[in-house]
Amino acid sequence: MPSPATTPELIDRIRKSGLVAPSDLHTFLADPRSDPGSGSSRHILDRLTEVHLITKFQADRLAAGKYKGFVLGSYTILDRLGAGGMGQVFLAEHAAMRRFVALKVLPGNVCEDDIARERFLREARAAATLDHPNIVRVYDMNREGKLLYLVMEYVEGVSLQALVEKDGRRSAAAAASYAQQVALGLQHAHERGHVHRDIKPGNLLVDRAGVAKLLDLGLVRSESDGDSKLTSQLGGARTILGTVDYLAPEQALDSSNVDIRADIYSLGATLYFLLAGHPVFPEGRAGQKLMWQQWRDPAPIDTVRPDVPDALAAIVHRALAKKREERFQTPQEMADALGRWVGGLVPPDGRLIVAPPNRPFLGRSAPSSGSSRSSMRLPAPPPSENGATPHPASKLTLSGPASGVVQLDGDPSPEQATPRVLAEATVEDDRPRRRSSAATARIAEPAPTSRKALLLVAAISGLTVGLLFVVVAALLFALGIIRT
């Protein structure tokens, strides 16, 4: 679909997209700064992004003429996080729970391929058996039309690949910490019969606290699948799965029959990358690297990085042994060896982590003072039925599912002054209140239900007093105290 040619056409597509509630869009357009007649289509989209009614990703899609595909099941797509051979990964928000998740989507055309679909299902089944702090959790798998998608834990972090590319090689303590955490996650997977087969810096995330997490089980091999021969079906016996720079020698020869020691080799190559700042074989074409993985040893890490202790260098090269019998035999064994160099979690530079888009009612703290986000001051609310208008210095009581009750004195902050917030706010005027005489009369006057109760009590009381009087009179007459 072509890009919208006019502003009214853009507004129409925004309405069709369902991204902005009609009441919010109406309030937004009533703001003079958002007047469709005073700005271009891009101006409207930029303003919607500034006030957090849509995200930049959504704005770019709308500008390109797209208004479908923003909603997948119960989730609203906010951004695109990445793509791979097994589909794309999106940041999404659950419509009701207001929680960020990552959606891994297998496109419809790929989903029709039996092998690709079975591999996607294998990833989902493997993930269902795993629950470990160093493995990204998978919550659910769903189908929407021809699309299959996994609902995964969203990690606000950075991949080890990007971390080294943007901030340089890691210290010995940081590299050991990340590698040990990944080894512990691999041990958990190993105990449940899984081999990852694609351990590499790009598949490892570290969050703001320094917790490393393993993701992407798209190439996992599970003992529970038996002799499925799924790998060979992808392209015959010569099929190679994995990433060349981190591929174990035996995996390059037969990817169908590898065990956990192939993952240990890949983890050793990842640790080398963290310390050296480049892969074990930084030069050469893919075919050359595959051959070198078979017979050529990488440059010793302590020559590339002289400050790396000899004992840590020995751990790296033991994990990179060509013969799997000479490597660590389990991830736990490698994790124990690395323990000597780990002093705790090592958080990355927070500036390297892209924060998710600000969304109303997620209970997130306001951005730093350096943020360039601007506020949108909305038109004054219409007068109430009795002609009164809320005071400009009213107090807003905002109820959010994550943050409980937040009270703001005066104007809301730029992040909270959105149409959705104002529409759902309870306005409490701080000025002294003077009730009219009619209002006072209504409060003093009993309700209809109260009047009925009072009449019933009075009737019962009168009947009781009358009966008591009759009984006492009869008793006095019988005793001769009263004579006729």
Any idea which residues carry the catalytic annotation? 198
- What is the distance of C-alpha 12 from the center of its chain? 29
Do the Cβ atoms of 241 and 285 come closer than 8 Å? no
Q: What three-state secondary structure class fits 87?
A: strand
Element (H, E) at 441: helix 437-444
Measured between alpha carbons, how far is residue 220 from residues 28, 37, 269, 293, 454 in Å?
48, 55, 18, 21, 76
Structure tokens at 351: 């500036």
**Adjacent-strand bridge partners of 91:** 79, 102
Cite the beta strand spans of 290-425 per DSSP E.
Answer: 395-400, 404-408
Beta-sheet pairing, 194-195 with 221-222? antiparallel
Q: CA-to-CA distance for 248 and 242, rounded, in angstroms?
A: 9
**At 290, phi and psi to the nearest 5?**
-65, -40
Measured between alpha carbons, how far is residue 348 from residues 326, 345, 429, 444, 451 in Å?
33, 10, 46, 65, 70
Q: CA-to-CA distance for 363 and 399, rounded, in angstroms?
A: 10
Q: Which residue has the tokens 């002294």?
A: 432
Q: CA-to-CA distance for 131 and 127, rounded, in angstroms?
A: 8
Q: CA-to-CA distance for 411 and 396, rounded, in angstroms?
A: 8
Find the distance separating the first CA and the last CA of the chain, reported in whole Å: 109
Q: What three-state secondary structure class fits 89?
A: strand
Do the Cβ atoms of 138 and 120 come closer than 8 Å? no
Question: Which of 314, 252, 332 lies closest to 289, judged by CA?
Answer: 252
Structure tokens at 82: 């990445």
- What is the distance of C-alpha 141 from the center of its chain? 16
DSSP state of 269: H
Question: Number of C-alpha atoms within 13 angstroms, CB side, residue 142?
Answer: 11
Residue 409 is which amino acid? D
- What is the distance of C-alpha 341 from the center of its chain? 32
Do the Cβ atoms of 51 and 41 come closer than 8 Å? no
Count other Cβ atoms within 10 Å, centred on residue 227: 6
Do the Cβ atoms of 419 and 24 come closer than 8 Å? yes
